Every structure is written in structure tokens, then in C-alpha cells.
């Protein structure tokens, strides 16, 4: 198990292949080179942020913590909403209505396409700047350089780092799914007195999912495996370390951890997909992406 305190992580500038201002705190990551590699950040976007309509070859969950994100035809995410953005499904264009703070989990999922690491994305961005420019989330190749003139920024990086055209997975869902957690009822969790849950959804045959857990003061919740947790409110002890607002935890496969609430606590659980038996869809290994 890994536990990270939000305030111990520095803000960094990110998403240079998109438009506008974006800073993030990088909380957790998976294992580079594996199909289930992941990255979990809390990002702050200013009102000038812009990203064109695009799609990915990985899955992502978004938790809107502050402000509002606008995804145009796909709707808006206000504070408290949770979104599942499936691989292969286009979304956006994306913009922030003033300052917005969002927790984002990106991860390799059912297609077996994996996920590029932050280091690979940064390296690819810098290398591609020799051949063109990133403008408004699009990589525009110089006139005297061979290749497609205009390509989605992340796709251009992925193709550069992997040396091949990106083949997007056929979408299992046509659109992102945006959930209003306030409209769900709390259900008791069997065998855990004082613990209740809002199951928000389970997705694809690989069973990634999202839920919100509530602990009464003094209650103990046994955190399940293959999951990323983010404390939304409250304080207490997770395994053998203190937790408070925006503490993040990763409980890997075969692990579990007890979370004991000192104060009433709410935690979001993001369950990573079960990729056992899945074969890579790439001739080379892939890691994580912004």
C-alpha cells in the first residue's frame, strides 16, 4: 500500500501539449511498462485552459473538486460530480469556467493499449518541438517536415514515442458518463458498522468502477485491492499513517488496508480494471500519459 499527503507534493506546470495554464500535484502512479500502468493527479486549470475535442486509447476517471469544467456537447462537471471517460470515445472541446480543480485518474484499460508515463510525455513533447508547434492542443507540423500537418497533441506524442500510427480502440461507450453523486443514496456496507457507500458504477468487462465511502466517527473501513482512494473530507488513520483532506492511497492487488475514522470521513474509491490474461495490443511496451 502507498499513501501520499497532498500538501507534501509541489505544484508543477503540465499539459504543455494543450492550450492555456495547467498545474498539477502528482500523487500516485503505477508500474511503467505494464498494461495497467496509471497516473493520479490533482490539477488546477485557469480560465484560459483549452483542449480540443479528442479521444484517448486509455480510460480516465475525473472527480470535480472545485469550480466547473465544460465539455461542450458532453455537458459540464460541477463540484461534486464524477466522470468516467472511456477509451475510444471522443469528448470536448474542454474548457474551464474560471479556476477549476479536478482529481484525474488515467489508466490502461480493456483494449490492452497501456498508458504512457509522464516522463515519456514530457520527452515526446520536447522532441516534437523540433518539428512543429503545439497550439490549442493540436500539434502542427512545420511545412518542411514530412507527416500529417495537424494531429491531436497527445496522439502525436504517442505516435512519436511508439514509432507507429495510433489505432484507437472501438468505444464500449459512445460518450463519457457524468454522475451527480448527490443524487445517490447511501447503502450500508455489510460487516463494517458505521460504514456506508454510494456505488456510482462499474464499467466494461474488466470492471473498473467508482464509489464514495462514508465512515462515521470511530468506524473502520477495510479498503479493497486494486484501487486508488482519495479522502474528500475528515481525518483518521489509514493503515499506519494519518490521513486528512486529499490524502491519496493506492492499495495494490493482493493488498488491503484498514482506514479508521477520527472524524466523519468521505472517501472516493476508484477501482482499477482487472487486466489478468489480457494481451498487449502493441509491439512495444507502453507506460503512462498526461
Question: What pTM did the predictor assign?
Answer: 0.86
Q: Phi/psi at 212 (nearest 5 deg)?
A: -120, 130
pLDDT in tens, 71-123: 999 999 999 999 999 999 999 999 888 899 999 999 999 999 888 877 777 88
Complete domains list, the chain, with CATH: 181-271 (2.60.120.10)
pLDDT value of residue 16 = 59
Q: Which long-range contacts (CB under 8 A, 24 or more apart) does 242-246 make?
A: 243/3, 244/5, 245/6, 246/6, 246/7, 246/42
pLDDT value of residue 27 = 97
pLDDT value of residue 286 = 36
The total of other beta-carbon atoms located within 10 Å of residue 224's CB is 13
| pLDDT < 50: residue spans in the chain | 283-290
Amino acid at each position: 500500500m502507498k499513501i501520499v499527503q497532498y500538501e507534501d507534493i509541489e505544484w508543477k506546470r503540465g499539459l504543455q501539449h494543450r492550450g492555456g495554464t495547467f498545474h498539477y500535484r502528482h500523487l500516485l502512479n503505477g508500474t511503467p511498462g505494464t498494461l495497467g500502468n496509471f497516473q493520479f493527479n490533482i490539477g488546477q486549470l485557469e480560465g484560459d485552459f483549452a483542449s480540443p475535442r479528442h479521444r484517448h486509447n486509455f480510460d480516465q476517471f475525473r472527480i470535480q473538486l472545485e469550480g466547473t469544467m465544460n465539455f461542450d456537447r458532453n455537458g459540464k462537471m460541477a463540484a461534486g460530480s464524477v466522470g468516467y471517460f472511456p477509451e475510444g470515445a471522443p469528448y470536448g472541446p474542454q474548457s474551464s469556467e474560471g479556476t477549476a480543480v479536478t482529481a484525474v485518474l488515467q489508466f490502461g484499460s480493456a483494449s490492452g493499449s497501456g498508458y504512457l508515463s509522464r516522463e515519456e510525455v514530457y520527452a515526446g513533447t520536447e522532441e516534437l518541438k523540433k518539428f512543429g508547434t503545439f497550439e490549442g492542443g493540436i500539434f502542427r507540423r512545420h511545412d518542411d517536415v514530412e507527416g500529417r500537418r495537424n494531429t491531436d497533441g497527445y496522439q502525436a506524442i504517442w505516435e512519436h514515442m511508439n514509432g507507429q500510427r495510433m489505432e484507437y480502440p472501438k468505444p464500449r461507450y459512445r460518450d463519457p458518463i457524468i454522475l451527480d453523486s448527490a443524487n445517490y443514496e447511501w447503502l450500508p456496507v455489510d460487516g463494517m458498522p458505521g460504514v456506508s457507500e454510494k456505488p456510482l458504477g462499474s464499467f466494461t468487462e474488466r470492471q473498473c468502477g467508482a464509489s464514495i465511502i462514508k465512515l462515521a466517527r470511530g468506524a473502520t473501513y477495510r479498503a479493497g485491492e486494486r484501487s486508488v482512494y482519495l479522502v474528500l473530507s475528515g481525518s483518521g488513520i489509514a493503515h499506519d499513517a494519518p490521513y486528512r483532506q486529499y490524502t491519496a492511497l493506492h492499495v495494490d492487488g493482493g493488498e488491503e488496508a484498514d482506514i479508521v475514522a477520527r472524524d466523519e470521513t468521505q472517501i472516493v474509491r476508484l477501482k482499477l480494471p482487472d487486466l489478468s490474461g489480457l494481451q498487449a495490443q502493441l509491439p512495444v511496451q507502453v507506460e503512462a500519459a498526461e
